[in-house]
Chain A
Amino acid sequence: MTPLVIAKSALLAVPLWLVTSTLLPIKASWLKHLLSIVIGFGVAVAATLVVPTGGMSYITTFILMAGIYAVLSLGLNVQWGYTGLFNIGIAAFFAIGAFTSALVTTNMPTGANASFTKQLMGLGMPFWVGLVAAGIVAGILAWLIGKPTLRLRDDYLAIATIGIAEMVRLVFQNERWLANGPQPLRGIPQPLQCLAGNGCDWLPGFVNDFFAPLTPRDYPYIYVAIVALVLFLLYRVLERAIRSPWGRALRAVREEEASAAMNGKDVAAFRMQSFVVGAVIMGIGGGLYAHYVVSIDYGHFDPLYGTFLIWVMLMLGGSGNNRGAILGAFVVWGIWSGTSFAVDALRPTLAAISPDLPSRGPYIRLLFISILLLFIVLYRPKGLLPEEKVVSLDRDLA
């Protein structure tokens, strides 16, 4: 039980604690959290001791990426699950969030770099400012797009969102001055990177000492804790939100209840609010993504990774259910990653059929995921977790 193991476990304990505390049916908050922390830390330590380093690293990265996708999935759940907005342009908000956070947190390139990298701005702000900015800008984009398109019927809205995603992609591909397109925008700072290095000046000594055993290679452990915190925070906010009058109104709008209070104007307002909130969350997801991969370009946000995968996640997990959204993200990311192993294992067989085939592994996986979506639509459109029948917190049941 080395200090390294303890440090890693402490970080891994964060997502485990948060998940456990959500699932434990204990009323007393202090007890619930205490137990969760203990369980979380215990499991983390056990895992770190038993699983070889490489494997543990992979698992951490897996949880991290699935967590980022879970954020995106939550955003889609607000738009689709609660309000029935068919948004096939998730990639637009994902991309805008990522690039905004990048532009806000990087520094303008100087000296020799300036000739290679062109960007609109580089404010050098801290990570969390980047995230907030990502959310805000994505929200603004949603508001701008939403004004003309949200009153359209479902299929027209879908086309419009495809168009938006395409336009955003094209802009980031062609406009060099904006974000160095088509070249990648590099050097996106990673929050708390110092902890995995020589220690952060702004943190107290004992914290730096605690995490001293970590090397830069262990950074994903730190980031997974950050992602888990952001995800949990968003989850809690949304869970509160659906139990509020606002949340009920959203669902009423989706079911097109002819309530006396719902005249045409209010419906439009609610759809817009839902669209914007969902977009803000997707933007935050984009920000989280950018700070993890450190270098982004327009190609990261193609229709497959940026939109399609997330739809499969939500449909599988259960639209209209926040836990379903998160569950779906983990399951589908698991399937996506799992099929990667499967394809690798089948390499000899594939190579025997055709020498080109092994390199086309990702497309075999894409085929698999497409068929999965078709199965879901045909046989289990509600997904794994049914929509929550929530009781309003508010007594105001007009």
Chain B
Amino acid sequence: MHDKRVLQDDGTLHLRPGERARAILTSRAFMFVVLALLVLGFIIAAQAKGVSANSLLSLFVRGTLLGGTLALGAIGVTLVFAVLKMANFAHGDTMTFGAYIGLLIIMLLPKGPPLAPFSFGYEFLVALLIVVPLIGLFTFGLDQALFRPLRNRRAQPIMFAMASLGLAFGLRSLVYIFWGADFTFYYVGRARPAVELFAGVRVRPDQLFILGLAIVLIVGVYLLLERTKIGKAMRATADNPDLARVSGIDTNRVILWTWLIGGGLAAAGGMLYALDVQLRPEMGWWLLLPLFASVILGTLGNAYGALAGAFIIGIVWQVSSAFINPTYGHGIAFLVMVLVLLVRPQGLFGGRK
């Protein structure tokens, strides 16, 4: 890596002018500034279009809520990437699958009244408790069937991605087969009134629950990664897989826990998203772009980065809907991602390239 600095007359080393500009442009601080300016730009554009400050604030809050749900998926993607070094294109459809299994459980349970002030009943909570570990184990099973043979024969990274693509469509086809192509809700026909939070910002109590639960789960993951033995082993394996083996760390257990957490969080994220919006077989695939955008923005492999990235993407997504057609929402996520990839591909928290 040759030094881009030039020896000055006074004996000090300085960056050439062009290099200095480039160093600033690719720096972390600049990235934050650009993002902040972007959001500011949205706000100004929205104001110009006559959108009220209250609406903007609502969108901001809504973006935070969305970010929480996205974070659950993004953490899973980045963990799988960190430990298994693969891009998992099936993650979105895992969220979908989890959401629909949750629906199945809710349908099977005897119907109870809604737990005020929320719109869901005890069935939803039971479903969550079952679905998270169940889907976690399920994704581990899929890993053993599909990805492990590829690992054993040292297949190229792209084969893993392709297998995950096949898995994505396979999972989605299962959803289509058992539940059809129409959208549906967990509690069809149940009223979901909004409540005023502050300053004219209206949210649904469900959404506060969703954000709260997302935060709880994320904190749980943090504690697991930082404080527990298996969590440290996961971080070690992600950091240096060969040395982890040499130290006697049981790679298989690490992989099991990676999928338990990744798949479990995905399922939770799917159920929460479906509770807030709706259940649709394509929902997971549509979320794939914002998920990967969050992960790349927050630096691939960095769980806390994925968290930060998810909130940023969520906010940018929602706020942008104030002045552009909302269906282009995840196009915005895509553009942010491309921006990051062009200027600073290592993400916000990555080191020098």
Chain A directly contacts chain B within the complex, with at least one CB pair under 8 Å: yes
Contacts of A371 in B (CB 8 A): 166, 170
Distance (Å) between the CB of B118 and the closest chain A CB?
Answer: 31
Residues of chain B contacted by A363 (CB below 8 angstroms): 173, 176-177, 181
Interface string of A332-365 (1 = CB under 8 A from B): 0000000000000000000000001101100110
- Asked if B163 is at the interface (CB within 8 A of a chain A CB), the reply is yes
Complex Cα–Cα for A211 and B342 (A): 57
Interface digits, B152-188 against A, CB 8 Å rule (1 contact, 0 not)? 0001011101110111011011101100110000000
**Cross-interface CB contact of A377 among B166, B172, B331, B338, cutoff 8 Å:** B166
A266 on the B face (CB < 8 A): no
Asked if B162 contacts A311 (CB within 8 A), the reply is yes
| A370 and B177 within 8 A (CB) | no
- CB proximity of B70 to chain A, nearest CB, Å: 15
Interchain nearest-CB distance for A373 vs B (Å): 4
Q: Which residues in A have their C-beta under 8 angstroms from that of B181?
A: 360, 363
**B327 & A374 in contact (Cβ 8 Å cutoff):** no
**Which of A173, A364, A369, A370 has its CB near the most chain B CB atoms (within 10 A)?**
A370
Cβ of A175 to closest chain B Cβ, rounded Å? 9
Tell yes or no: A367 within 8 A of B by CB: yes
Answer whether residue B100 sits at the interface, using C-beta atoms and an 8 A cutoff: no
Check A370–B289 contact: CB distance below 8 A.
Answer: no
User: How many residues of A are counted as interface, with CB atoms below 8 angstroms from the partner's CB atoms?
Assistant: 40
- B165 and A367 contact, CB distance less than 8 A: no
A84 CA / B161 CA spacing, docked (Å): 13
Question: How far apart are the CA atoms of A148 and B341 in the complex, in Å?
Answer: 8
0/1 per residue, B307-337, Cβ < 8 Å to A?
A: 0000000000000000001011011001001
Is A366 within 8 A of B169, CB to CB?
yes
Q: Tell me, rounded to whole Å, the shortest Cβ–Cβ distance linking B290 to chain A.
A: 10
Tell me if B285 is interfacial: C-beta within 8 Å of chain A.
Answer: yes
Which A residues are in CB contact (< 8 Å) with B163? Answer: 374, 377-378
Task: Report the nearest B residue to A373, measured CB to CB.
Answer: B166
Residues of B within 8 Å of A381, CB to CB, are 155, 159
B173 CB, nearest partner CB in chain A, Å: 4
Contact A158-B89, Cβ < 8 Å, known A163-B289, A163-B337, A378-B149: yes
Shortest distance from the beta carbon of A48 to any chain B beta carbon, whole Å: 37
Instruction: Count how many pairs of residues, one from A and one from B, have CB atoms less than 8 Å apart in the complex.
Output: 111
> How close is A395's CB to chain B, nearest CB, in angstroms?
33
Kindly state the separation between the CA atoms of A174 and B173 in the bound complex, as whole angstroms: 26
Instruction: Provide the A152-165 mask, 1 if CB < 8 A to any CB of B, else 0.
Output: 10111011101100
Within 8 Å of chain B (Cβ to Cβ): is A315?
Answer: yes
Instruction: State A360–B181 Cα separation when bound (angstroms).
Output: 9
Provide the bound-state CA to CA distance between A311 and B157, in Å.
17
- Name A303's closest neighbour in chain B (CB-CB): B285
A370's nearest neighbour on chain B, judged by CB, is B170
Give Cα distance in the complex from A152 to B157, angstroms. 14
State A86–B161 Cα separation when bound (angstroms).
9
Q: A163-B338, A374-B166, A381-B159 are in contact. List 20 more A-B contacts (CB 8 A).
A: A156-B296, A156-B341, A159-B87, A159-B296, A163-B331, A167-B334, A170-B327, A170-B328, A173-B327, A174-B325, A174-B327, A174-B328, A311-B162, A363-B176, A366-B172, A367-B170, A373-B169, A374-B146, A374-B163, A377-B150
A residues with CB within 8 A of B: 84, 86, 88, 148-149, 152, 154-156, 158-160, 162-163, 166-167, 170, 173-174, 303-304, 308, 311, 315, 356-357, 359-360, 363-364, 366-367, 369-371, 373-374, 377-378, 381
List 27 interface pairs A-B (beta carbons < 8 Å), by A numbering.
Answer: A88-B89, A148-B342, A152-B341, A152-B345, A154-B158, A155-B157, A155-B158, A156-B341, A156-B345, A160-B337, A163-B331, A163-B338, A166-B330, A166-B331, A170-B331, A308-B165, A356-B180, A360-B181, A366-B169, A366-B176, A367-B177, A373-B166, A374-B166, A374-B170, A377-B150, A377-B166, A381-B159
The 8 closest A-B pairs by CB, nearest first: A370-B170, A363-B176, A373-B166, A155-B87, A163-B334, A367-B173, A366-B173, A370-B169
